[in-house]
């Protein structure tokens, strides 16, 4: 009878909180202690298995989160450096889709500060039609992205051809119009000096730069907003902040030099953008 009571007490003890078991074991003496020891030993494999299972589940959850973060969105492209997302297509002037050719971040090199991400779009119809003005250009057909001279020649021909091109610029962090404006105009002024323009040409360029400055936003620009520079087939360039039209310039030197600053030369404004766009064109020509 005593043994029966001991078994009953031990069985009850197994289902009590740990903090309540010690007094019962002490009361039952050696028999209860021995049973408890055997019981604890029996539970150890299950405990180890449970911990291992929890570890596997935890790893799977982390792995799933990583996969979710790296999921390729069919509607956007993420710049690998800044993590800023760009839509794969945006509306062109006539509403038809313009497709992203490439993008990259603009950095202040010595400070290693990311300023904005820039991407180049062209009308999908110009990219897909083998007989379009874009693809029919001899310079484009000979395009070699690893040959800078070949790439520069092709980019120059594309910029000068009456097709629609769109530069889309998105700040990495909140900024303001004057900050971006100063960077844009500085690039244009330096280009005018390098080109050694004649006095009349230089005067026309400076007038164009001043006109361009007045088209740019004067207030704050958030990291969720985009500046668009639309080069039209008629030779003009429209400036927009998201869907708001800020104005238009027809100064050919400003338009061509502004686009060239991102696509040509030994020191483009964003080398990563230039390389990405060159790769996009090369891939296009292989289709």
**Taking a C-beta distance cutoff of 8 angstroms, is the pair 107, 82 a contact?**
no
Q: Average pLDDT for residues 27-45, to the nearest whole number?
A: 45
Looking at per-residue pLDDT, the higher value among 34 and 283 belongs to 283
Q: What is the pLDDT of residue 44?
A: 52
Q: Are 145 and 130 contacting, i.e. CB atoms less than 8 angstroms apart?
A: no
pLDDT in tens, 206-215: 999 999 999 9
Cβ atoms 190, 205 nearer than 8 A? no
Among 43-57, 124-138, 225-239, name the one with the lowest average pLDDT. 43-57
The answer to whether residue 282 scores a pLDDT higher than 70 is: yes
Query: Tokens for 18?
Result: 């740990």
* Co-location of 89 and 38 in the same domain: no
pLDDT at 75: 92
pLDDT tens digits for range 149-176: 999 999 999 999 999 999 999 999 999 9
Q: How confident is the prediction for the chain on average, in pLDDT?
A: 81
Taking residues 46-70, report their average pLDDT: 42
List Cα–Cα distances, 2 to 14, 24, 25, 33, in angstroms.
19, 15, 15, 16
Same domain, 105 and 233: yes
What is the model's pLDDT at position 119? 98
Q: Measured between alpha carbons, how far is 110 from 164 in angstroms, rounded to an integer?
A: 34
Residues 170 and 61 occupy one common structural domain? no
| Largest interatomic CA distance in the chain | 118
Q: What is the DSSP secondary structure assignment for residue 110, as one 8-state letter?
A: G
Total domains, the chain: 2
Same-domain check for residues 54 and 115: no
* The pLDDT of residue 131: 84
Would you say the C-alpha torsion 249, 253, 256, 261 has a positive or negative sign? negative
What is the chain's Cα-based Rg? 33
**Structure tokens that stand for 16 in this block:** 């009590």
Asked if the model's pLDDT at residue 260 lies above 90, the reply is: yes
Alpha carbon 29 to its chain centroid, in Å, reads: 70
* Confidence category of residue 20, pLDDT binned at 50, 70, 90: very low
Which has more pLDDT, 53 or 119? 119
Q: 100 and 201 in one domain?
A: yes
Q: What is the CATH number of the domain that holds 252?
A: 3.50.70.10
Residue 146 phi/psi, 5° resolution? -85, -10
Torsion angle defined by CA atoms of residues 266, 270, 275 and 277, in that order, rounded to the nearest 10 degrees: -120
Question: Which of these three, 34, 69, 104, is where a domain ends?
Answer: 69
Residue bearing the bigger pLDDT, 209 or 33: 209
Burial of 99: CB neighbours in 10 Å, binned 0-12, 13-18, 19+: buried
Q: Rounded to whole angstroms, how far apart are CA atoms 126 and 40?
A: 75
Give me the domain span that covers residue 152.
76-285
Say if residue 100 is in the same domain as residue 177. Answer: yes
Whether residues 83 and 143 fall in one domain: yes
Lowest mean pLDDT among 46-60, 89-103, 181-195: 46-60
Q: What is the pLDDT, as a whole number, of residue 37?
A: 47
Out of 46, 69, 92, a domain closes at 69
Give the CA-trace dihedral at 132, 134, 138, 141, to 10 degrees. -100
Q: In the structure encoding, which two tokens stand for residue 118, read together?
A: 């820039």
DSSP 3-state of 72 = coil
Residue 13 above 60 pLDDT? no
Paired residues of 123 in beta bridges? 98
Q: Which residue has the higher pLDDT, 285 or 184?
A: 184
Please indicate, yes or no, whether residues 85 and 35 belong to a single structural domain of this protein. no
Residues 211 and 278 in one domain: yes
pLDDT at 25 over 50: no
Helix pair 199-215, 252-263: axis angle to 10 deg: 80
74 pLDDT band, cuts 50/70/90, is: confident
pLDDT-derived band at 253, boundaries 50, 70, 90: very high
Asked if 21 and 35 touch (Cβ cutoff 8 Å), the reply is no
Average pLDDT over residues 1-6: 43
Ranking 30-34, 199-203, 251-255, 272-276 by mean pLDDT, the lowest is 30-34
Encoding tokens for residue 199? 């006095």
């Amino acid at each position: 009878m005593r043994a029966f009571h001991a078994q009953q007490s031990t069985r009850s003890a197994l289902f009590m909180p740990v903090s309540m078991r010690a007094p019962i074991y002490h009361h039952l003496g050696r028999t209860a202690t021995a049973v408890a020891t055997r019981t604890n030993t029996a539970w150890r494999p299950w405990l180890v298995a449970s911990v291992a299972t929890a570890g596997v589940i935890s790893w799977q959850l982390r792995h799933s989160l990583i996969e979710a973060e790296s999921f390729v969105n069919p509607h956007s492209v993420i710049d690998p450096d800044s993590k800023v997302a760009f839509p794969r297509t945006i509306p062109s002037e006539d509403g038809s889709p313009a497709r992203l050719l490439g993008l990259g971040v603009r950095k202040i090199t010595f400070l290693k500060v990311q300023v904005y991400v820039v991407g180049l779009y062209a009308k999908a119809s110009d990219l897909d039609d083998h007989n379009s003005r874009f693809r029919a250009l001899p310079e484009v057909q000979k395009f070699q992205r690893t040959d800078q001279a070949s790439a520069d020649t092709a980019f120059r021909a594309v910029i000068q051809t009456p097709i629609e091109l769109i530069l889309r610029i998105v700040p990495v962090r909140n900024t303001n119009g004057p900050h971006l404006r100063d960077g844009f105009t500085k690039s244009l002024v330096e280009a005018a000096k390098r080109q050694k323009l004649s006095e009349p040409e230089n005067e026309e360029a400076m007038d164009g730069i001043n006109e361009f400055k007045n088209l740019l936003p004067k207030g704050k620009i958030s990291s969720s907003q985009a500046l668009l520079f639309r080069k039209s087939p008629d030779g003009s360039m429209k400036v927009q902040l998201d869907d708001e039209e800020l104005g238009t310039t027809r100064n050919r030197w400003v338009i061509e030099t502004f686009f060239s600053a991102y696509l040509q030369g030994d020191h483009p404004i964003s080398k990563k953008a230039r390389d990405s766009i060159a790769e996009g064109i090369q891939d296009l020509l292989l289709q």
